[in-house]
């Protein structure tokens, strides 16, 4: 994990939208740094998708977040979808 990185946010989003995106990204971090419940990650992903509707924008956020933090939102969601229940851990 890189220290002190910034999140890929669009400041034209409402406070609620920013909160949804940050909440999802925080759980992706937890998946890499120790573990997170798959169901919780999928729930936050659903809320994230209400803000980020296009696949292109989602991929761009994933690239930007991975570049800044080293964590992949795509891999975290994929692991949670495969597991469905229990804890997802992606860290080394």
Q: CA-CA distance, 86 to 13, in Å (whole number)?
A: 32
Give me the number of domains the chain comprises: 1
Q: CA-CA distance, 14 to 3, in Å (whole number)?
A: 27
Supply the pLDDT for residue 87.
93
Q: Where does residue 35 fall: left (phi above 0), alpha (psi -120 to 50 degrees), or beta otherwise?
A: left
Tell me the CATH number at 57.
Answer: 1.10.220.80
76 part of a folded domain: yes
78 part of a folded domain: yes
Q: How many CB atoms lie within 10 A of CB 72?
A: 18
**Residue 78: pLDDT over 80:** yes
- Return the higher-pLDDT residue of 8 and 72: 72
- Name the pLDDT band for 3 (thresholds 50, 70, 90): low
Residue range(s) defining the domain that contains residue 80: 15-85
């Amino acid at each position: 994990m890189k220290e002190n990185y910034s999140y890929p946010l669009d400041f034209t989003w409402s406070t609620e939208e920013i909160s949804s995106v940050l909440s999802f990204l925080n759980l992706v971090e937890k998946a890499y740094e120790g573990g997170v419940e798959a169901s919780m990650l999928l729930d936050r992903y659903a809320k994230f998708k209400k803000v980020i509707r296009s696949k292109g924008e989602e991929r761009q956020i994933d690239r930007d977040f991975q570049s800044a933090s080293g964590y992949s939102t795509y891999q975290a969601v994929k692991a949670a979808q495969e597991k469905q229940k229990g804890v997802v851990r992606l860290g080394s």
